[in-house]
Structure 1
Amino acid sequence: MTDYASTSHASKEFGVRDFYLGRQPILDRNQALFGYELLFRGAPAGGASIASGMSATAAVIAHAGQLGLDRVIGDAQAFLNVDADVLMSDIFVFLPREKLVLELVDTVEASAALVDRMAQLAGHGFRFALDDGAANPDFERLLPMADFIKVDTRALTPSALQQLAPRFKRDNKKLVAEKIETRAEYDCCRELGFDYFQGYYFCKPMVIGGRKLTPSQMAITQLLTLVSSDAENIEIERAVKGDVTLALNLLRLVNTPAVGMRQKIDSVSQALIVLGRRQLQRWLQIMLYADPAQRGHSASPLLMLATTRGRLLELLAKRLRPSQRNVADVAFTVGIMSLMDALFGMKMEEIVAQIPVIDEVAAALVHRTGFFGELLKLAESIEQMESGEDMVLPTLKQLAISSEELVEFEVAAYSWSDNVVRYAI
């Protein structure tokens, strides 16, 4: 058996640094985060493409070894694409199997050696996912080993989905609906009994005419207005105390590892001093996405995505304009606010009219223009790497940022977002 357990060997052999990282969320029936499919895109001679096979898996493994899988996925599950060569190697054996699902590509042939290898790995706690089998004649031989069946909803008619879902449910397989792009598609697959849903349907805004912010959201936006207008501390303190939920969350925030205070803070006035205006503004922006009834990884996927975007844009802006004051804070605000249209079900123009922002932020959010708009488009392109034209690598070249730097920024953003959701919300 070939030994690919060394991440340094994998990196050298397969040119790992030619790849950049993407992760696509997989949600459960309550729209809480369950896992991520990890995706790596490279730049071969023929143009950018989603990497597959040993080279892509080597990229995943190398980055996991160097940067830590936990920093990429937190407490979620990782779905990792593998082919026969990968399965027959030892390249993935050091990864935490309780967090790992090996997703077989649809070209895998069910040889006797492969089936035996899957049985061996299953005995050691590894789990497998299969595509629905439309392109793989060996699907039935592999089916008994699979825990998850992933179904491309774009490739099947509604009637075909209705026939397919009950069959796999009878076999006690967990069904994952892929390429869900709208709420209607999510609702349809949920009614058919699908267990998990993959795609970015949750961040597509559903604009509802005349919709208003909730009382809690309104209280936060009013506080944001006070903070951005340099109101007196006593005025901000009075506003925080006027909303019991906000006050309690503020006190809990300053007493968590995310802030790092050694002594317990037990008053709102102390908490405001400890945080300062900059951190208070960030916390309020994040709190707009938080559901007080749900914490940790059951939180809204919008919260996870928004905090990741905010941190990624902050790191990119700091790297590109290190001498400019406040540029990182502005970039963070753009990233956090970029999903508020989906959060509120309102047009972005209405949101920037209600929440005071500078002209550069408004231009980035509404039109994706200017320096911050370009950074936001880059972040969105990374998230959507499976669809549309790949604009990431040309943009990186234009910004003079290497793929290696981007991966490190992404992983830092994933890790920061995970800590915020886990400790601070």
Structure 2
Amino acid sequence: MPLSGDFYLTKVPILDDHQRIFGYFLSIKNREDEPVSVNELADLLVNVNLEKIAGSYPVFLKVNNEVIKHDILDYIPAEKTVLLLSTDDLTDEDVQLIKELKNVGFRFAFEYGGDLGRISEIFDYIFTDVNQIDSDIYQHRDKVILTGIFSTEEFKQLLNEGFRYFKGDFIFKPSTIVEKKIDPSKLAVMELFTKVRENFNPPQIEEIIKRNPDLSISLLKYVNSAAFSFRSKITSIRHAISILGQRNLLQWLLLFLYRAGSDSSYAETLLEVSAERGKTLEILAQKLNLSDEEVEKSFLVGILSLVDKLIGISPEELIKELNLDEEIVKAIVEKEGILGKLLNIVEKTEEGKIADIADVISSLGLNLNDVMSAQLQAFAWFEEVNIV
């Protein structure tokens, strides 16, 4: 079934105290602060495979209290979903029903309203803004998911206070960038990227990759992943290089760049978001019938749009290191050109502010259905690709 014209969702990672992805907060349309109705939830379940967009992670969905009384719950994977409810208008009947649903595997989160009394026996998680932390929240901090964080410094302070879960949209803010020297392992990957892009010489590339066991293992896992579905398994580096070709090899190198030195803060989250951005841009570029070169650049724009936060250098410096052209820099930094407009669309959709760029979408001859379909395909693609 095709997506309805005004259907789209945002997917924000929830991080744990190890700065890794714990789950995802999904919101439908431009209404993050409003709960999902039964009809909207039905639209979501028809169009979205939660396994495809979240993998093994739980999904947090803010829903109306009416949802827990509806047979639509029969179509929700209890093991995958945490239903986020408001304590407003929560009746004794609702509380009893929630207890029964918990017995069959459902989990529930609540928005903090200043009192845990009525929900003390039924909540699995509590969502609250950092400005609402009080003695009750502090006492249950191992079950609290904090929102409203604006900087890495604030995040680290809350970590030190014993909080475990955090809505992770703060890591994309500019304040999280700290200038630092490029890690040697990342620099080696960047140099290999440049070699592959400027002179695709498979035997030479094979020798470089074989000298690095991590690269070799990652390449074989990548090419043998479900994303490619080759008839026979790839067992050698040379075979992998030849069957992938230059374009896919470049994509793999950029994805690996995010994983090189995985002790970096938020590396896993940045990898996923940037990879999904790149794939979404690539699909939209193909939808616009752009040239093969522009389609290749679109993926680069998406994945490079967050690499500065991982490596700690500006996009301009990074592009210089990778010897890429000015069009990519302008697309990332200034949102100029078609690729810049596509990146702007994807970023605003992630933020739940798609209304801000409705005119941009229309000017490119696209619609919300195109954008959402591309994102869902990108989510599914990432779950099929092994990048380690």
TM-score by length of 2: 0.91
Which of residues 151, 162, 168 is equivalent to 2:140? 168
2:103 aligned with 1:105, yes or no?
Answer: no
In 2, distance between residues paired with 1:16 and 1:116?
35
2:284 aligned with 1:310, yes or no?
Answer: no
2:374 aligned with 1:409, yes or no?
Answer: yes
RMSD: 2.5
In 1, distance between residues paired with 2:262 and 2:366?
40
Instruction: State the partner residue of 1:150.
Output: 127
Cα separation, partners in 2 of 1:35 and 1:218, compared to 1, 3 Å: same
Cα separation, partners in 2 of 1:34 and 1:66, compared to 1, 3 Å: same
Cα pair 1:313 1:332 within 8 Å, conserved:
yes
2:7 aligned with 1:35, yes or no?
Answer: no
Which of residues 215, 225, 250 is equivalent to 1:281? 250
2:117 aligned with 1:129, yes or no?
Answer: no
In 1, distance between residues paired with 2:382 and 2:41?
20
In 2, distance between residues paired with 1:279 and 1:262?
17
Which of residues 264, 283, 300 is equivalent to 2:268? 300
In 2, distance between residues paired with 1:399 and 1:105?
39
Cα pair 1:23 1:39 within 8 Å, conserved:
yes
2:341 aligned with 1:353, yes or no?
Answer: no
2:45 aligned with 1:64, yes or no?
Answer: yes
Q: Secondary structure at the match of 1:25?
A: strand
Cα separation, partners in 2 of 1:53 and 1:212, compared to 1, 3 Å: closer
What is the Cα deviation at residue 162 of structure 1? 6.1
Cα separation, partners in 2 of 1:183 and 1:162, compared to 1, 3 Å: farther
Cα pair 2:262 2:268 within 8 Å, conserved:
no
What is the Cα deviation at residue 371 of structure 1? 1.1
In 1, distance between residues paired with 2:75 and 2:299?
35
In 2, distance between residues paired with 1:412 and 1:204?
26
What is the Cα deviation at residue 250 of structure 1? 1.8
Q: Secondary structure at the match of 1:39?
A: strand
Which of residues 297, 309, 315 is equivalent to 1:330? 297
Q: How does 1:183-262 map to 2 (within 5 A)?
A: 183-205=152-174, 206-209=176-179, 211-262=180-231
Q: Secondary structure at the match of 2:339?
A: helix
Bigger drift between 211-220 and 226-235 goes to: 226-235
What is the Cα deviation at residue 164 of structure 1? 4.1
Cα separation, partners in 2 of 1:207 and 1:410, compared to 1, 3 Å: closer
In 1, distance between residues paired with 2:85 and 2:78?
16
Post-superposition CA distance 1:142-192 (Å, at most 9, x none): 232101011111x33xxxx363443224xxx61111122311121122122
Which of residues 377, 399, 406 is equivalent to 2:364? 399
Q: Secondary structure at the match of 1:200?
A: helix
Instruction: State the partner residue of 1:46.
Output: none
Cα pair 1:310 1:335 within 8 Å, conserved:
yes
Cα pair 1:71 1:414 within 8 Å, conserved:
yes
Which of residues 94, 103, 107 is equivalent to 2:75? 94
Bigger drift between 331-340 and 406-415 goes to: 406-415
Cα pair 2:224 2:230 within 8 Å, conserved:
yes
Which of residues 47, 64, 68 is equivalent to 1:83? 64
Q: Secondary structure at the match of 2:84?
A: strand
Q: Secondary structure at the match of 1:378?
A: helix
In 2, distance between residues paired with 1:19 and 1:88?
24
In 2, distance between residues paired with 1:208 and 1:117?
48
2:109 aligned with 1:140, yes or no?
Answer: no
Cα separation, partners in 2 of 1:360 and 1:17, compared to 1, 3 Å: same
In 2, distance between residues paired with 1:129 and 1:94?
19
Cα separation, partners in 2 of 1:191 and 1:58, compared to 1, 3 Å: farther
Post-superposition CA distance 1:363-389 (Å, at most 9, x none): 112222111111111111111127xx8
| Structure 1 letter corresponding to 2:112 | D
Cα pair 1:290 1:299 within 8 Å, conserved:
yes
Q: Secondary structure at the match of 1:109?
A: coil
What is the Cα deviation at residue 262 of structure 1? 3.7
Post-superposition CA distance 1:385-410 (Å, at most 9, x none): 27xx8414333333332323322211
What is the percent sequence identity of the aligned residues? 29
What is the Cα deviation at residue 350 of structure 1? 1.1
Cα pair 1:83 1:104 within 8 Å, conserved:
yes
2:4 aligned with 1:23, yes or no?
Answer: no
Bigger drift between 244-253 and 365-374 goes to: 244-253
Q: How does 1:41-52 map to 2 (within 5 A)?
A: 41-42=29-30, 49-50=31-32, 52=34
In 2, distance between residues paired with 1:398 and 1:164?
50
Cα pair 2:181 2:312 within 8 Å, conserved:
no
Unaligned runs of 5+ in 1: 1-7, 43-48
Cα pair 1:181 1:199 within 8 Å, conserved:
no
What is the Cα deviation at residue 291 of structure 1? 4.5
What is the Cα deviation at residue 39 of structure 1? 0.7
Unaligned runs of 5+ in 2: none
TM-score by length of 1: 0.83
Cα separation, partners in 2 of 1:417 and 1:193, compared to 1, 3 Å: same
What is the Cα deviation at residue 128 of structure 1? 0.7
Cα separation, partners in 2 of 1:168 and 1:141, compared to 1, 3 Å: same
Post-superposition CA distance 1:53-81 (Å, at most 9, x none): 454x5324322233312122221111111
What is the Cα deviation at residue 84 of structure 1? 2.1
Cα separation, partners in 2 of 1:121 and 1:208, compared to 1, 3 Å: closer
